A = this chain, B = another copy of it.
Amino acid sequence: MELIDGNKIANDIVAELKAEVGAIKGRKPCIALVRVGEDPASVSYVKKKEKSAAEIGLESRIILPPVSISQTELFALIDGLNNDPGVDGILVQSPLPKHIDEVAVFRRVSPAKDVDGFNTVNLGKVAQEDETGFVACTPAGIMEILGRSGVDLKGKHVVVLGRSLIVGKPVALLALQKKAGANGTVTICHSATSNLPGITRQADVLIAAIGRAEFVTADMVKPGVVIIDVGINRVPDPTKKTGYRLTGDVHFPTVSPLASKITPVPGGVGPMTVAMLMKNTVKAYRLQTGH
């Protein structure tokens, strides 16, 4: 069993981006990070993104509207960034306050600057295999992990657990694409699936993204499977200071011995998302500036 080191892969990508951005003459790519209010998780996520941008040499603009901002005002703020030629990528940190329609806000971001990949057009482009779009960071990170771990999906049966808009569906569409490394046969399972173990046991590559702690057990996989565990769940654990531990959607102790390769939680897919956001920002810069 090979443990896939998501931190190492993410660091490799950051180093590559740093070299790439270092070679850019003149204005550097710029990401606008919009955080509404002071949600502690959002504060921490935005800090991470800011830090990663700085490390790579990207410009970042941190925009911190108060939690009381109206949807109209937030739209106006986003429109300003959409029209600002100095901004290449825009990230609006989720979650937004309840009085704001999150989906409408994500759609307000210009598709050309939607480095989070949540815009309808960019999801459509994933389905169309149109490389001018932006792939959402988690599914993009999963494909990078697979590619950089030497897993070619061609002819493989890829089983995706979960049909969410930000992981399950886009990663299924990516695994299905005709491009090198993809070409998988893809099955998407979810809460309404019958005989789930019978299906997951067929997986050559299993992508678990249902958000249920340690849901995938040893009887649900076949020996030699490659497992990408996208879940990040908190499980009560009195032996920890925090009172909980983080676990994936896979019961790691019993499943990992059967796997040929597996991502741990934490340290698997998680670290990839920020790296992919930065990669999308550099791509947005190149597409918009033509450099």
Contacts of A156-213 to chain B: CB distance below 8 A = 156-157, 163, 165, 169-170, 172-173, 176, 178, 183-190, 192-194, 199
**Contact code string A144-157 (vs B, CB < 8 Å = 1, else 0):** 00000000001111
Stretch at the interface among A72-80, A125-133, A246-254, A259-267: A125-133
Hey, which chain B residues are within 8 Å of A186, CB to CB?
Answer: 187-188
Find out whether the CB atom of B183 lies under 8 angstroms from the CB atom of A185: no
Q: A65 to B123: give the CA distance in the assembly, Å.
A: 33
Q: Among the listed B120, B165, B169, B189, which residue makes an inter-chain contact with A185, where contact means beta carbons less than 8 Å apart? A: B189
Range for the number of chain A residues in contact with chain B: 20 to 34
Q: Among the listed B123, B189, B190, B192, which residue makes an inter-chain contact with A124, where contact means beta carbons less than 8 Å apart? A: B123
**Contact code string A110-122 (vs B, CB < 8 Å = 1, else 0):** 0000000001111
Find out whether the CB atom of A163 lies under 8 angstroms from the CB atom of B176: yes
Find out whether the CB atom of B187 lies under 8 angstroms from the CB atom of A185: yes
Chain A residues with a Cβ under 8 A of chain B: 119-125, 127-128, 130, 154-157, 163, 165, 169-170, 172-173, 176, 178, 183-190, 192-194, 199
The 8 closest A-B pairs by CB, nearest first: A124-B124, A120-B124, A123-B124, A187-B187, A183-B192, A185-B193, A155-B194, A123-B127
A-B contact pairs, 17 of them (CB 8 A): A120-B121, A121-B124, A124-B125, A124-B127, A128-B165, A155-B193, A155-B194, A169-B173, A169-B176, A172-B188, A183-B192, A185-B192, A185-B194, A185-B199, A186-B187, A186-B188, A187-B188
